[in-house]
Amino acid sequence: MRSWNTIMVSGGAGFVGGNFIRHILGKKEFAGRVINVDALSHTGNPLSLRDVEDAHGTKRYVFERADIRDRSAMDRILNTYGVECIVHFAAESRIDSSAFTTSDFITTNINGTLTLLQAARAWWEGRREGLFHHVSTAGVYGSTEAHELISEDSPYNPSAPYVASKAASDHLARAWFRTYGTPVTISNASRNYGPYHFPEELIPLIITNALSEKALPVFGRKDDTRDWLYVTDHAEAIWRILTRGRIGESYNISGENALKNTELVQHISRVLARATNRQEKDFASLITFVEDGAESPLRSTLGCDKIKKELSWKQAFNLDQGLEATVRWYLDNQAWVEEIRSGEYLRWIEKNFSKRKERKLL
Ligand SMILES: NC(=O)c1ccc[n+]([C@@H]2O[C@H](COP(=O)([O-])OP(=O)(O)OC[C@H]3O[C@@H](n4cnc5c(N)ncnc54)[C@H](O)[C@@H]3O)[C@@H](O)[C@H]2O)c1
């Protein structure tokens, strides 16, 4: 089993990276330090980790506002903190807008990953061997037939620009391992849900709109089938890869919860009704499907036998447990939702990250 003293997390102010930081700082087996490197683009919210900063201080958690496309910033950070392991989450991740703002998807997801791989390779040369873990999505495999199960050997078949850019970055990470021997691992996970998810994403949007009795728009076809993974199950799977995964390998991470959109919404309505002592039909009546014109329903059924067998990982949350925990979290953290919706966090970033103050927060 590998152990790490200093882990750099790129994109740790985002949804999955932030949950990952929280998860590993709470683990008995990890006594080291996390360096969160994030450019704070529109989905990065450093306020989500305020309590982590308060609880652990800079001995265990440091925030660096930096762009992964900036090679000299990456060199400086790796060097300053003596980074041993990089967990690379930073990405332009919004699938829906990817068709309209393609250049950021390319420059961050592809060029940014390339810059980080180059910096890691140079930094680890002649030093104790590190690990570069590249966090990717199951979307790279594209849509499948209903009976087909995706495995790590399935061909890549991305559709949207976002997933195409993630596929390209997976190939780059793999090429750095094969060509230069850079120690790389990759994971491809299905859709995540859980705490600290931007309120405009499907599951939090349904929960937060339902709580304020607004219409519940579900984009896509009723029959679109997706797999949902609770975000801390994802975090634990990545931890297992960092500590026990085979170098050069890819691992799929799935909730094994492939559901049609209609079924997902029914589940959420049931959980919301239980959590608020109301009737399921109160919520079900608010749902409106907004079809997006796709020609055939999207399906993806991601198999994850490899990580289960090799690394003894399994999901701790089934869908109902995960949704229950998520609904509870949004009920208890409405101030966080307000902060995002009002743009308060963006004003906070402006105020605290002017050039003059940038270094002071480190
Ligand atoms: N959310 C999911 O369902 C899911 C599923 C599988 C894989 N993933 C992968 O996990 C990663 C994180 O996804 P997420 O949903 O948390 O996204 P997110 O948008 O919430 O977080 C991305 C973070 O990256 C930061 N960032 C963007 N551009 C940057 C740059 N140039 N330099 C430094 N930081 C930058 C943003 O500020 C943000 O904090 C992505 O790589 C994504 O492909 C996500």
pLDDT > 50? residue 120: yes
Is there a single domain that holds both residue 84 and residue 170?
yes
Lowest-pLDDT choice from 44-48, 179-183, 281-285, 345-349: 345-349
More confident residue, 212 or 195: 195
Query: 67 lies in a domain?
Result: yes
What's 354's DSSP letter? S
Phi-psi region of 104 (alpha: psi -120 to 50; beta: other; left: phi over 0): alpha
Query: Which atom of ligand 1 is the closest one to the Cα of 107?
Result: 31
Is there a single domain that holds both residue 92 and residue 43?
yes
CATH number of the domain that 283 lies in?
A: 3.90.25.10
Distance CA 37, CA 68 (A): 8
Lowest-pLDDT choice from 95-109, 139-153, 266-280: 95-109
Q: Which amino acid is it at 114?
A: L
Q: Over the range 139-156, which residues count as b (16 or more CB within 10 Å of their CB) and which as e?
A: bbbbbbeeeeebebebeb
Is there a single domain that holds both residue 9 and residue 22?
yes
Strands 85-88 and 131-137, sheet pairing = parallel
Is there a single domain that holds both residue 135 and residue 207?
no
Query: Which atom of ligand 1 is the closest one to the Cα of 229?
Result: 3
Distances (CA, A) of 165 to 91, 97, 139, 174, 269: 10, 13, 11, 14, 34
pTM passes above 0.85: yes
Q: Which two tokens stand for residue 311?
A: 């690394």
- The angle formed by the CA atoms of residues 40, 33 and 135, to the nearest 5 degrees, is 55
Domain count, the chain: 2
State residue 102's pLDDT score.
Answer: 67
14 CA → ligand 1 middle, Å: 6
Q: Which amino acid is it at 254?
A: S
Ligand 1 pocket (Cβ < 6 Å) reads 10-11, 13-17, 38-41, 43-44, 67-69, 89-93, 108, 112, 135-137, 166, 189, 191-192
Is there a single domain that holds both residue 34 and residue 118?
yes
**Percent of the chain whose predicted confidence (pLDDT) is above 70:** 92
Query: 308 lies in a domain?
Result: yes
DSSP 188-199: EE-EEESTT--T
